[in-house]
């Protein structure tokens, strides 16, 4: 009876092909043990906004479901990285005004002393604005 070989599939009827992939089509589970497989979720081939869900199913040779787990891909988001540096290239803190297209009020973000902030934003058009007084690199004119 042991070890047990389980066949793995992804059931995601409404997801485009290739969004959910498994690193192996089967796993062999030893007695009193466990086995692993990597699930890759790749939204690079998705051409429309939307959410996709499905499940990874593990079946015995007799076709009985032995295990399953959910998988999903949400709306596309983009990583925004902001870096604040002074005239010497050192990190500095600050405040950023972030305005999304169509919104009436901006969001204000605090950049800490590391000088870097990252966030994920829904697919849209944004304006990012900040002002900071910094010491110049040239001497003052007489």
Convert the pLDDT of each residue in 123-140 to its tens digit: 899 999 998 876 666 766
User: 56: pLDDT confidence band, cut at 50, 70 and 90?
Assistant: very high
Cα distance from N-terminal residue to C-terminal residue, the chain: 91
Q: What is the model's pLDDT at position 69?
A: 94
Residue 138, C-beta contacts closer than 8 angstroms, at least 6 positions apart: none
Q: What's the rounded mean pLDDT across residues 12-28? A: 94
Q: Count Cβ atoms below 10 Å from residue 15 Cβ, excluding itself.
A: 21
Strand order in the sheet with 52-59: 26-29, 4-11, 52-59, 65-73
Q: What is the model's pLDDT at position 38?
A: 96
Q: How far apart are CA 115 and CA 45, in angstroms?
A: 34
């Amino acid at each position: 009876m042991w070890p047990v070989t389980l066949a793995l599939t992804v059931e995601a009827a409404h997801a485009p092909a290739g969004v959910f992939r498994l690193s192996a089509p089967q796993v062999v589970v030893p007695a009193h043990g466990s086995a692993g497989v990597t699930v890759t979720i790749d939204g690079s081939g998705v051409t429309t906004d939307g959410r996709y869900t499905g499940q990874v199913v593990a079946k015995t040779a007799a076709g009985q479901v032995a295990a399953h787990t959910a998988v999903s891909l949400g709306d596309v988001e983009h990583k925004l990285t902001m870096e604040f540096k002074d005239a010497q290239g050192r990190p500095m803190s600050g405040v950023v005004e972030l305005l999304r297209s169509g919104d009436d009020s901006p969001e204000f973000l605090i950049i800490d002393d590391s000088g870097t902030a990252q966030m994920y934003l829904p697919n849209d058009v944004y304006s990012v604005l900040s002002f900071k007084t910094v010491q110049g690199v040239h001497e003052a004119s007489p």
